[in-house]
Amino acid sequence: MKITPDLNRLLNELETLASFSDAPAPAVTRVVFSPQDLAARAYLREILSAAALELRTDAVGNTFARWAGADPNLPAVATGSHTDAVPHAGRYDGTVGVLGGLEAIRALQRSGFRPRRSIDLLVFTSEEPTRFGIGCLGSRMLSGALSPENARLLKDGDGNSLKEVLQEAGLDGTLENVRLANTFYHGFIELHIEQGPLLERKGIPVGIVTAIAAPATLRVRIEGSGGHAGAVLMPDRRDAFLAAAEIALAVESAAKATWSGDSVATTGVCSVFPGAVNSIPSRAVLEIDVRDTDLGRRDGMLSAIRAACEAIGVKRQLRVEIDLINADAPAQASPLITEALSASCQALRIEFMFMVSRAYHDSLFISRIAPTGMIFIPCRNGISHRPDEYASPEDINRGVQVLASALAQLAQ
């Protein structure tokens, strides 16, 4: 079977999709359910229908485009990604997986292939957390990781509830119907730009993802006591910022002590009150991001950070409160998918490497309900979430070929 993507059409579609933007080109800003996002969704429905796919949109706006198989009762095979974009992003994050997935299906249709299992293209709602503060909204609900009750509590920055925003977008279905059964999909593959520099550095065109790291987020509040920076002498101080500084160093130590090659921990936020040069900080708030591909190691770092917070609080006589804001479990790719992908690369004579995804994707959640894997293609200098994000036509073409070949294997 010869799989020949129509690369020019795909590049034109990527360009058209990028034009639905609230920022001037080359930047792309497309926040979920904004007028530009709704216009982009209408454009997508048009080109998905033109490929003779059956469309369905669920209550949270996830779109399913189905190429019906000869045996439609079998669990389907699926691919897909997202089309929302963070402010001042580029045109390839997510969109390569959606439009590349569409082109993979069209290339299979043109080749004369007829799938036994149906093949679905999914466009997930709000992979980016920009509007509702939570990433992977659509895939979280599909997998049951976010319940309808908790989804109803979500509000955007203007105080609109998710339900109000969905109604405004013309979606008034029941959120209870979004969750998919664990038997719904035989397998799921997401094609995505790497968003890191490894493939480009090694000169390898395809990465097969074996595990997806997941973040846990801690917020630490430290209450000390303030005072005049000249009047309170050093032995009498309970400086909240100094405790925060020690905790930030303990965060670094926790990751270095765990170091597995994949363990990382970052203190990305430190706010100090009252924030005056001649006042002793009375309060500090830290936000800490901890990631690993292994849940045990990730949670081990969290425990080490908690223990350090307590010890530093006691030593400095400060109150330290720790809130776990979020802790998604990391995911392992399914051998069913990684083997289909490596067999495809070998058949196509495309060099590949196994690698880990350090950013999280909709695949993290779909992996809870279906055998899942990802294909990474290089992006220039590893840059993403910036207007100069770039993936070359040749790399996109190879990614689509590998995807199409693996979908065909899984669907036959």
Q: What are phi and psi of 113, to 5 degrees?
A: -65, 140
Binding site for Zn ion (CB under 5 A): 93-94
To Zn ion, the closest distance from the beta carbon of 3 in angstroms equals: 24
Other C-beta atoms within 10 Å of 321: how many?
A: 12
Residue 3: name the closest of 386, 350, 372, 381 by CA.
Answer: 350
Is residue 158 within 8 A of residue 383, CB to CB? The reply is no
Centroid of chain to Cα 404: 22
CA distance 241 to 279: 11
Q: Determine how many CB atoms are found less than 10 A away from the CB of residue 314.
A: 10
Instruction: Tell me the C-alpha distance between 65 and 250, whole Å.
Output: 48
Q: How far is the CB of 192 from Zn ion (least distance, A)?
A: 6
Number of H helices, E strands in the chain: 12, 17
Taking the complex as a whole, how short is the minimal distance between the CB of residue 374 and Zn ion, in angstroms?
A: 11
Question: Minimum CB separation from Zn ion for residue 118, in Å?
Answer: 25
- Burial tier of 255 (Cβ tally within 10 Å: 0-12, 13-18, 19+): buried
Q: Which two tokens stand for residue 364?
A: 């993290």
The residue number with the shortest CB distance to Zn ion is: 94
Q: Which is nearer to Zn ion, 118 or 143 (CB)?
A: 143
Nearest distance from residue 73's CB to Zn ion, in Å? 32
3-state SS, residue 271 = strand
State the minimum distance, in angstroms, from the CB of residue 177 to Zn ion.
Answer: 26
Token digits of residue 360 = 């999280």
Q: Which is nearer to Zn ion, 82 or 179 (CB)?
A: 82
In angstroms, what is the C-alpha Rg of the chain?
Answer: 23
Give the nearer residue to Zn ion in terms of CB position, either 69 or 138: 138
By beta-carbon proximity to Zn ion, the closer residue of 320 and 364 is: 364
Which residues share a beta bridge with 185? 76
Question: In this complex, which beta carbon is closest to Zn ion, that of residue 94 or of residue 224?
Answer: 94
CB of 181 to Zn ion, least distance (A): 26
**Closer CB to Zn ion, 94 or 373, in the complex:** 94
Q: How many CA atoms lie within 13 A of 236 on its CB side?
A: 8
Smaller CB separation from Zn ion, 93 or 246: 93
